[in-house]
Structure 1
Amino acid sequence: MKTDIEISQNSELLPIGKIASQLSLGEQQIEPYGHYKAKVTLPVANQDTKGKLVLVTSINPTAAGEGKTTMAVGLGDALSELKYKTALALREPSLGPVMGMKGGATGGGYSQVIPMEDINLHFTGDFHALTEAHDTLSALIDNHIHHGNQLNIDPRQITWKRVLDINDRELRHTVIGLGGRTSGVPREDGFDITVASELMAILCLSRDIKDLKERISQILIGYTYDRKPVYVKDLGVQGALTLLLKDAIKPNLVQTIEHTPAYIHGGPFANIAHGCNSIIATRAGLNTADYTVTESGFGSDLGGEKFMDIVAPRLGKTPDVVVIVATIRALKLNGGAAKDELATEDLAALKKGAANLGRHIQAMQRYGKPVVVAINDFTSDTEAEINQLKQYVTDNFHIPSVTCYEWAQGGKGAIDLAKEVVKAADTPHEFKPLYSNHDSIEAKINQIVTNIYGGDGIELTSKAKKQLKQIVQNDWDQLPVCMAKTQYSLTDDASVHGAPTDFKIHIREFQVKLGAGFIVALTGNVLTMPGLPSHPAALNMDIKDNGEITGLF
């Protein structure tokens, strides 16, 4: 059996100009980066949206795998197979998961975006630009303090950390400025991963350069000694930071194995950020295709909810249909089956684990959106298991569920799903927001916990309560909430699977992201700088003398 990279390397690539022409993009609207990838100029993203939008999300991820990106790519290819003008709008991979254990973000099998090596490794340099812009701001803050500190910034209250696009637990907490008077002012600091940077969120939520610069100017960097907020605009460096992102703000265009155009742009994690690709790329898809297939990070409890409550208002459009991806294996794991027994038929575990899928269906239906369930096929799935799961979906939710074979068959393996998506997208529906921005921060979080997670309330630490008072005093409580929570559970405890009830979400602290336009609520022990596993994927990677890459999935 070929690996993902072998399938990618043996696939025919069309010149990027031919891919652009499928979307009626002219030569003046693309900037080629080599033969097979390009940047797309911004005017495309600023037109009125026209096409249908399909949001792909999933159940809670497990060690058994769900294949959400693979499903999104396969669905895009299937829609193209049905002769619909289709575009994908996906996130860029972070080197943290690529070199760690999660893998890349280009799909798998015969449902991939290519060239997968380029996309997974540096791509067009967007993440490097974001990292440099972020750390340039860090350097400018410390330089300001070193040269007299005219803004009276309290070094103990700087909220702007540094970033790096790799998992490095050693950098979570650091001390900087050591080495004497010429080396700056000593203070505690730390690093987040680049995908958790507020600049990443800002890039993905900005409409154009002007909007990008305005949002950067609003970034809260810390407080003065008398506890007054200090913003980037007070330093006067928003222009310098924006120019470092002048190319990164342009969406990237590539293709699938079956030559469906794919906009890939931005990559915030959904467990510590808002987890969706840029609205510029999504709007580009909506303006150039009949159907745009996008995905949100992890399960519907994270990326799905954030797409509806944070992204959709900025995008100016809500999804026409939501696809929830599930696997028999993952649901059996949710139902208590052992990982080494997932290939054995277990109807009892599947029946219990199906409740996790049910919770995600309810969460997305809460927004008034049509929902279709995509069952990602594994060879170990039995006919009895598939029939039982489909019957569960029909009996409890009266929505379609479709078995898909996109990993092995590409777009042809998702034709039935594409037909159900087209049908559902034409169904009359009305979007129902989960909360109003005028609700209190606690009320917003309670709405998310009760309606999306299935919990019964929240608990705040004394630190979070103190921060909440400060948020209210500064009139920041009108912003939406971005929940930072483990992806592996509907609770804030990664070890709790299935569809638990009678639990509370524990808010340990808040982070104010004024440029991004939301308040982050950190729950449980979620980390903004992950660590590498005991056997990182990097150990399997190599490059031959002729430049051929091996071991990259």
Structure 2
Amino acid sequence: LVATIRALKMHGGVRVRDVAQPNPEAVTKGLENLAKHMENIEKFGMKSIVAINRFPTDTLEELEIVKDFVISSGSQASIVDYHAKGGAGGLELAEQVVSMVDKEECRYHGLYDWNSSVEDKVFTVASKIYGAQAVDYTTEAKADLRRINKYGFDKLPICIAKTQKSLSDNPDLIGRPKDFLVTVREIVIANGAGFLVPITGEIMRMPGLPKKPSAETIDVEDDGNISGLF
């Protein structure tokens, strides 16, 4: 489970433009969001190892606040610094993962029965993972449900599309919101992939590219070095 000090500050109420400024109080307040993600992993029969992805603006105090919280919650944590140190910056994390795998302590299980109705599967995820109280469907989504049931796609698993900025489908609900309403706008049948995609909130599913994508300037030199990344 990857966490950043910047994201925790945002969930602690700090504006995005100010997340580079030291603010241990906001980090502490934002830990409720991290706690929910850790709880969600346990719902699948798994244990979490929290990788704290270090940024140059993070203070040692802020990093230790997160690490101490994770450890006190019964999980493992590692401060990773791949950007500055390369592979060496993640050795502790790698060792923790290998150790957990070797112990075979985790037994994965799904969250719902694929044979349940689409509505039940959506509500299970929305309530148990997001913390929602109820799920609403637009007229278009209800028509999608009828088509899905008619053609026998209702037994497929679901992959809900929503904002990454909140546990809810509303990007303004930061931290750990509870008892909110999730609205499904439409449901896409991804038959080739083998799942249904309930789309919630106002989101862009595929980010657009600029007129000149960065990929056009990236190259591998004769000596093996990669150029054009920055």
Compute the TM-score of the two structures, normalised by the length of structure 1. 0.38
Q: Which runs of 5+ in 1 are unaligned?
A: 1-323
| 1:529 CA displacement | 5.0
Aligned counterpart in structure 1 of residue 182 of structure 2, from 505, 515, 529: 505
How has the CA–CA distance of structure 1 residues 537 and 355 changed in structure 2, closer, same or farther, with 3 Å as cutoff? Answer: farther
**TM-score normalised by L of structure 2:** 0.86
Task: Tell me the residue number matched to 1:422.
Answer: 98
Count matched residues.
226
Shift, 1:359, TM fit: 1.6
CA contact (8 A) 2:218 2:229 kept: no
| 539 and 467 in structure 1: CA distance in 2 versus 1, 3 angstrom threshold | closer
Are 1:363 and 2:40 counterparts?
A: yes
- Which one has more relative contact order, counting CA pairs under 8 Å at least 6 apart? 1
**In the alignment, which residue of structure 2 is the partner of 1:104?**
none
| SS of corresponding position for 2:28 | helix
Q: Distance in 1 between matches of 2:50 and 2:218?
A: 40
Alignment counterpart, residue 79 of structure 2, candidates 383, 400, 403: 403
Distance in 2 (CA, whole Å) between partners of 1:538 and 1:467 is 35
SS in 2 for 1:482: coil
Whether the 8 Å CA contact 2:132–2:178 is kept in 1: the answer is yes
The higher radius of gyration belongs to 1
1:482 aligns with 2:166: no
Match in the other structure for 1:336: 13
- When the two chains are superposed, the root-mean-square deviation of aligned CA atoms in Å is 2.7
- 1:371, 1:424 within 8 Å by CA — same for their partners in 2? no
| Secondary structure of 2:199's aligned partner | strand
Q: Is the contact made by 1:364 and 1:371 (CA closer than 8 Å) also made in structure 2?
A: yes
Shift of residue 465, structure 1, vs aligned partner: 1.4
Partner residue in 2 for 1:383: 60
The one-letter code of the counterpart of 1:429 is C
Q: Is the Cα contact below 8 Å between 1:458 and 1:506 reproduced in 2? A: yes
Q: Secondary structure at the match of 1:525?
A: coil
Could you say which residue in structure 2 is the equivalent of 1:393? 70
Paired position in structure 1 for 2:22: 345
Letter in 1 for 2:94: A
Return the alpha-carbon distance in structure 1 between the equivalents of residues 178 and 95 of structure 2. Answer: 35
Cα deviation for residue 332 of structure 1 reads: 0.9
Measured after TM superposition, the shift of residue 470 of structure 1 is: 2.6
Whether the 8 Å CA contact 2:159–2:197 is kept in 1: the answer is yes
Letter in 2 for 1:422: V
1:431 shift after superposition: 1.7
**1:453-484 deviation line (CA, Å, top 9, x unaligned):** 22222110122112212322332211111212
- In structure 2, distance between residues paired with 1:473 and 1:539: 44
What is the rounded CA distance, in whole Å, between the counterparts of 2:143 and 2:36 in structure 1? 33
Report the 3-state secondary structure (helix = DSSP H, G, I; strand = E; otherwise coil) of the residue aligned with 2:172.
coil
Equivalences for 1:134-173 in 2 at 5 Å? none
Task: Using the TM superposition, give the Cα deviation of residue 373 of structure 1 relative to its aligned residue in structure 2, in angstroms.
Answer: 0.4
Unaligned runs of 5+ in 2: none
Provide the rounded CA distance (Å) in 2 between the counterparts of 1:332 and 1:543: 33
Query: Could you tell me how far 1:383 is from its partner in structure 2?
Result: 2.2
Q: Aligned AA for 1:376?
A: N
1:438 aligns with 2:115: yes
Query: Structure 2 CA distance, aligned partners of 1:529 and 1:372?
Result: 29
Question: What is the deviation of 1:412?
Answer: 1.4
Distance 1:541 1:437, change over 3 A: closer
> Is the 8 Å Cα contact of residues 359 and 454 (structure 1) preserved in structure 2?
no
Equivalent position of 1:313 in the other structure: none
